[in-house]
């Protein structure tokens, strides 16, 4: 016997409820911070019963992490260029989609990138990107038939840290750079390296390592 077909109206209600709770949490966190926030305030802002909240989430921390996962799933739907980028080399298109998505969902990215809560949401966000990046680098190396000079897990974490650092700065400030410009600079930095980006010649590379932060 086949299971009953999903109830479309019920699915829409679930999506609306989660969206209302997500919006309420983001607005309230930006207003007063995560730690001072209560579930009662979230449900009141979302116009949702407490029982309904707990039917979906264990607590406000679970809601915040749920937002990260929903954001990642949403972003995946905006990344049709990932496979194209793997086939054509490093185009920068997936990074551009992330910046464009951050522009569309700026308050959500602000809450996550600030490390609100205990930082769990930011760690989750970082791991999601890092896992995807490592997988893409591994697949690309296998396609081309090359052996990495640096372990993939280190490459992925360095790349992700660079991306999140620039993305946080870009989201929080009027940097003057468009999404395309920021992406272009990150792409060139990734392809050509820091020595090239600094305007130095290859012969200056060793000297560049002596710079104290």
The gap from C-alpha 211 to its chain's centroid, in whole angstroms, comes to 30
pLDDT digits (tens, 9 = 90+) for 54-63: 999 999 999 9
**CATH topology identical between 8-57 and 59-197:** no
pLDDT over 50 (residue 11): yes
pLDDT digits (tens, 9 = 90+) for 172-211: 999 999 999 999 999 999 888 888 898 887 776 655 455 5
Mapping DSSP onto H, E and C, the string for 51-100 reads HHHHHHCCCHHHHHHHHHHHHHHHHHHCCCHHHHHHHHCCCCHHHHHHHH
pLDDT over 50 (residue 85): no
pLDDT over 70 (residue 74): yes
Q: Please tell me the pTM assigned to this model.
A: 0.82
Sign of CA dihedral 83, 86, 88, 90: positive
pLDDT digits (tens, 9 = 90+) for 104-159: 999 999 999 999 988 989 999 999 889 988 988 898 899 899 999 999 999 999 99
Instruction: Please state which of the four CATH numbers 3.60.21.10, 2.30.40.10, 1.10.357.10, 3.90.1170.50 is assigned to the domain occupying 59-197.
Output: 1.10.357.10
Residue ranges per structural domain of the chain: 8-57, 59-197
As its CATH architecture, domain 8-57 has Orthogonal Bundle (1.10)
High-pLDDT (> 70) share of the chain, %: 83
């Amino acid at each position: 016997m086949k299971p009953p077909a999903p109830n479309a109206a019920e699915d829409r209600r679930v999506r609306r409820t989660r969206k209302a709770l997500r919006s309420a949490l983001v607005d309230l966190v930006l207003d007063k911070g995560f730690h001072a926030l209560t579930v009662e305030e979230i449900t009141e802002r979302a116009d949702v019963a407490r029982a309904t909240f707990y039917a979906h989430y264990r607590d406000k921390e679970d809601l915040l992490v749920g937002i990260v996962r929903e954001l990642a799933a949403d972003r995946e739907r905006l990344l049709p260029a990932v496979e194209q980028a793997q086939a054509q080399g490093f185009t920068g298109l997936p990074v551009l989609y992330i910046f464009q998505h951050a522009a569309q969902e700026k308050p959500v990215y602000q809450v996550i990138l600030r490390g609100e809560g205990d930082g769990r949401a930011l760690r989750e966000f970082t791991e999601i990107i890092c896992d995807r990046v490592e997988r893409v680098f591994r697949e690309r190396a296998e396609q081309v038939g090359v052996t990495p000079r640096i372990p993939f897990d280190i490459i992925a974490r360095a790349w992700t840290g660079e991306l999140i650092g620039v993305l946080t700065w870009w989201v929080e400030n009027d940097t003057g750079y468009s999404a395309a410009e920021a992406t272009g600079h990150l792409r060139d930095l990734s392809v050509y390296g820091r020595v090239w980006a600094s305007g130095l010649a290859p012969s200056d590379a060793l000297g560049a390592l002596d710079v104290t932060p």
